[in-house]
Structure 1
Amino acid sequence: MNFTDIPARILKAFGLNGLKNTIPTDSSTSTDNNGVATFDKGFPQITMQPLSAGGIPPSGKDMNGILYALSLKEQWADAGMSYPFNSDFATAISGYPKGSVLLNSQQSGKWLNLTDGNSTSPESLTGASTGWVPLDNYGVTTITGLAATNVTLSSLQAAKERIVLTGTLTSNIAIIFPAWMASWTVVNNCTGAFTVTCRTASGTGITAATGTTEKLYCDGVNITRDFGTASQRNVGDGSGNIPDMSFFQNSKSSSGYARLPGGVIIQWGTASTGTSGITVNFPIPFPTLVGSVTATDSGGAQANSVGLTVLSLSQVSFFGRAIQSGAASNTAVRWIAIGY
């Protein structure tokens, strides 16, 4: 089939404004004897017998009622809707099948069933295992007023992927998550010199300091950081920071430099010494120390040696001599300097 084969949506359920009967679920002696259609038996046998043999014609109201009930469900599906969990329905069908998807009670997400014959409600106030796991949930869960008491997330609270914690901590506390295979982003906006441990009821977890955001993963038992300790680091060039490209400043040219996070600077360039030497300015001054400068003859008609003197944090001088005669010689120089 192709997408262009999409059938028309049902704008009105069949017989919406017509005469119709409400179709009973179960049959009885009365419905059988009076030719009443039910979902249990459909039209009873008496409606299929000749009138001369005591048969009763099928009711047009029953037919309208049947088609109305079926088309009303189809219209509901056409509107993009599904159903929430229903205990009576679950009992009647001996539990929901594995793979079924239900709307949550807030109409903001869905539940995926992982167990055949499941008659347990997906939504537990204690986040206990129900055989259902969250699917496509919208919104953020905010837990307020945290102080000194552990908090167990309900299934609906934990179904949201982002959990925001607020309050003034007076003790180390724990937030207990359901033992699902799932990921969460936990924003700890609490104040106070204490920590929040995110864990399952029977597994291990991670400790979130106040003012941090943690990306968590649960394997169904234990909770770990999705990105290790990297998720705790701020961008910067200080101890414990993670630098971004703005901390790798550089000037890519024949005379240039590269500034590394932490303050180390590498500089390079070229020069011609002439016969009396030359003073060269570094592309940028070293703030504290010129650690090392190395220079080499970049090639010429004769072999030359290069001498140098670091004059200051911003200057170096080079001079060249012919190796064979020892006389001053105009030398093409390539140099590199390291400092901070």
Structure 2
Amino acid sequence: MQASSVPTSFPAVFANGAGTGYIRSVPTASQIGITNGAASLTDGFPPLCFLATSAGGVPPFGQDMNGILNQITAGVQWSQVGGEPIYNAAYAATIGGYPNGAVLQSADGAGFWRSTVDNNSTGPEATAASFTGSIAGTTLTVTAVASGTVMVGQTLSGTGITAGTLITALGTGSGSTGTYTVQTSQTVSSTTITAAGASNWVPGKFYGTTAVTATGSAITLTAAQAARDIIVISGTLTANVQITFPALTKNWYIVNQATLGSFTLSVVVSGGTAVSLAAGGSILRGNGTNVLIDALQVAPATASQHAVQFGQVNTGRLINVQTFTASGTYTPTTGTNSIIVEVCGAGGAGGGASSANASPGGGGGGGSAARVRITTMPTTVTVTVGGAGSGVSAASGGAGGSSSFGSYVIAGGGAGGSFNSGSSFPVASSGGAGSTSLTISGASTMSASYGGQGGVGVVYTSGGVGLSGAGGNSLIGQGANQVGTGTAGIAPFVNCGAGGSGACNNTSGGSNFSGGGGSAGRIVVYEYA
């Protein structure tokens, strides 16, 4: 058959204009013995219609012909215009239920339900209820509702109730107290009745969004709520809230717009494992037993607007920083693929001052330093941190020690500031030399610097103005400031490799002073994935 072989659609239902007396509905039950010659869905046209009138036969009724063709073409036209069947409890009871695979349109026209078993009479959108009622014949009378809503399509159970009893129509009741029609005639005195909700129906494609408001109580989604693919949750939580989903094999897109505060919002299938929902959007997968949030795989990003793989953003990411202010051993953090290492030698101490004569101490020299990158990762590296040069009273300052990161970087320490004492003015003391000892091997140099020269200390006249030498700078720190007369030297910031300043006296008869100690070395390792 070809797509072009579309049959002509009925523009009108057959005999839709037939007047009274020219058309009648064809009943299901046989009309034999009731109305001679009348058609029924059971017999069609009865045997009398096939006998000659001379032999006692009865001609077919034209009303029956109009009636059956009207009924047939109405169904055909509904299908031709794209209409789908809708759940009908009375019809389901008559035919013994819908078959496995039957597809019905939802009550609101927004989607479809599919039966998963044969002989399925329950309503796909029915919800559970509990109430007090009695049955006389096919009339159910509800006198009190404990929970839920009474509706068409519910299957009833309780003391004395026939198994499989189905509510097929509303009477005076419309969800609460009142009368309803059931398909099985019976007599049941007033009792507690349980109405089962939908079973053996699964949602097909549904249009639209389900809105759920979460506050402080647990929520159980109805079949109709869970049928939609997008569920938007709002509200302000006043307690932990759990939302129970039906046990379906289905995906949902959850938009969590609720204000969580200190509480949690989770989703679960009854009897399954709960999953916490973070704020924002989540793809939730039901497997018939649990609901899960799976990790999603995306292609490698090639443009700025693309989603990226974790490996793309993870490569080169700073994962840890290890700082050494004392000698030891470096061991890479798990996941480290490259490192940037900052190594600085120690600073020298400033020169001291004597009480015997004018004596301006020179500033200590700064340690050399380098910042390098290593991409071939070692298993471990021996780390040596240079010790600070020590200040000495009335003597030259001590030199700073060398710092090293294995053989990758060796950075020398600065020299101590000199000490000079005298009465022939001006009196001066030279600053300690900044380290020019710097070795780099097996690493890429990012920056490197020799240590800064310590400043000169000078006293110009006896009892006059005098200043010690300032400490020399390093790549990562500033040397200590110079001091005036009658003052000990000062040390720079710790572990920056800079030099200490000298002490200063401008005449005899004062006190001995020590130069400021240098700053110890430091090694910092930045670890990248």
Per-residue deviation at 1:262?
Answer: 4.1
CA contact (8 A) 2:232 2:254 kept: yes
Q: Which residue of 2 aligns with 1:174?
A: 242
Per-residue deviation at 1:106?
Answer: 1.0
Matching residue's letter, 1:139: G
For residues 5-38 of structure 1, the C-alpha deviation after alignment (integer angstroms, 9 at most, x for no partner) is 11111111122223422222222355442x1111
Per-residue deviation at 1:76?
Answer: 0.2
Mapping 1:47-126, distance limit 5 Å: 47-125=49-127
Confirm or deny that 1:201 pairs with 2:265: no
Aligned to 1:17, what secondary structure does the other structure show?
Answer: coil
Q: Which structure has the greater CA radius of gyration?
A: 2
Aligned to 2:277, what secondary structure does the other structure show?
Answer: strand
Q: Which residue of 2 aligns with 1:277?
A: none
Confirm or deny that 1:187 pairs with 2:322: no
| From 206, 209, 213, the counterpart of 1:140 | 209
Matching residue's letter, 1:147: T
For residues 129-184 of structure 1, the C-alpha deviation after alignment (integer angstroms, 9 at most, x for no partner) is 6100000111110112x211000000000000111111100111110100111111
Aligned to 1:312, what secondary structure does the other structure show?
Answer: strand
CA contact (8 A) 2:31 2:38 kept: no
Aligned to 1:5, what secondary structure does the other structure show?
Answer: coil
CA contact (8 A) 1:32 1:44 kept: no
Return the structure number with greater relative CO, CA threshold 8 A, min gap 6.
2
Alpha-carbon distance in 1 for matches of 2:444, 2:256: 56
Per-residue deviation at 1:217?
Answer: 1.2
Q: Which residue of 2 aligns with 1:214?
A: 282
Tell me: CA distance 1:227–1:52, structure 2 relative to 1, closer, same or farther (3 Å): same
Confirm or deny that 1:36 pairs with 2:38: yes
Matching residue's letter, 1:83: P
Alpha-carbon distance in 1 for matches of 2:100, 2:316: 55
Matching residue's letter, 2:31: S
Q: Which residue of 2 aligns with 1:27?
A: 30
Alpha-carbon distance in 2 for matches of 1:175, 1:202: 13
Per-residue deviation at 1:224?
Answer: 1.3
For residues 75-97 of structure 1, the C-alpha deviation after alignment (integer angstroms, 9 at most, x for no partner) is 00001111111111111111111
CA contact (8 A) 1:243 1:261 kept: no
Matching residue's letter, 2:10: I
Per-residue deviation at 1:113?
Answer: 0.6
CA contact (8 A) 1:125 1:153 kept: no
RMSD over equivalenced CA pairs, Å: 3.5
Alpha-carbon distance in 1 for matches of 2:81, 2:203: 22
CA contact (8 A) 2:218 2:241 kept: yes
Alpha-carbon distance in 2 for matches of 1:243, 1:38: 65
Confirm or deny that 1:6 pairs with 2:17: no
CA contact (8 A) 1:162 1:187 kept: yes
Aligned to 2:250, what secondary structure does the other structure show?
Answer: strand
Q: What TM-score do the two structures reach when normalised by structure 2?
A: 0.45
Tell me: CA distance 1:312–1:143, structure 2 relative to 1, closer, same or farther (3 Å): same
Alpha-carbon distance in 1 for matches of 2:248, 2:442: 69
CA contact (8 A) 2:250 2:286 kept: yes
Matching residue's letter, 2:263: F
Q: Which residue of 2 aligns with 1:17?
A: 17
Alpha-carbon distance in 2 for matches of 1:76, 1:28: 28
Q: What TM-score do the two structures reach when normalised by structure 1?
A: 0.68
Confirm or deny that 1:244 pairs with 2:308: yes
Q: Which residue of 1 aligns with 2:151?
A: none
Per-residue deviation at 1:71?
Answer: 0.8
CA contact (8 A) 2:236 2:258 kept: yes
Tell me: CA distance 1:309–1:129, structure 2 relative to 1, closer, same or farther (3 Å): closer
Per-residue deviation at 1:307?
Answer: 11
For residues 246-294 of structure 1, the C-alpha deviation after alignment (integer angstroms, 9 at most, x for no partner) is x979xxxxxxxxx94449999xxxxxxxxxxxxxxxxxxxxx9532499
Between structures 1 and 2, the one with greater helix share: 1
CA contact (8 A) 2:239 2:263 kept: yes
Aligned to 1:90, what secondary structure does the other structure show?
Answer: helix
For residues 203-249 of structure 1, the C-alpha deviation after alignment (integer angstroms, 9 at most, x for no partner) is 1131113x232211111111111327x99xxx9xxxxxx9838x979
Alpha-carbon distance in 1 for matches of 2:442, 2:225: 72
Matching residue's letter, 2:447: S
Alpha-carbon distance in 2 for matches of 1:130, 1:93: 18
Alpha-carbon distance in 2 for matches of 1:161, 1:152: 16
Alpha-carbon distance in 1 for matches of 2:442, 2:82: 81
Alpha-carbon distance in 2 for matches of 1:311, 1:179: 59
Alpha-carbon distance in 1 for matches of 2:444, 2:286: 61
Tell me: CA distance 1:182–1:243, structure 2 relative to 1, closer, same or farther (3 Å): closer
Confirm or deny that 1:158 pairs with 2:240: no
Q: Which residue of 2 aligns with 1:316?
A: none
**What residue ranges of structure 1 are gaps of 5+ in the alignment?**
236-241, 250-258, 267-287, 295-305, 314-337
CA contact (8 A) 1:128 1:178 kept: no
Tell me: CA distance 1:243–1:79, structure 2 relative to 1, closer, same or farther (3 Å): closer
Alpha-carbon distance in 1 for matches of 2:108, 2:290: 28
Confirm or deny that 1:290 pairs with 2:292: no
Aligned to 2:267, what secondary structure does the other structure show?
Answer: strand
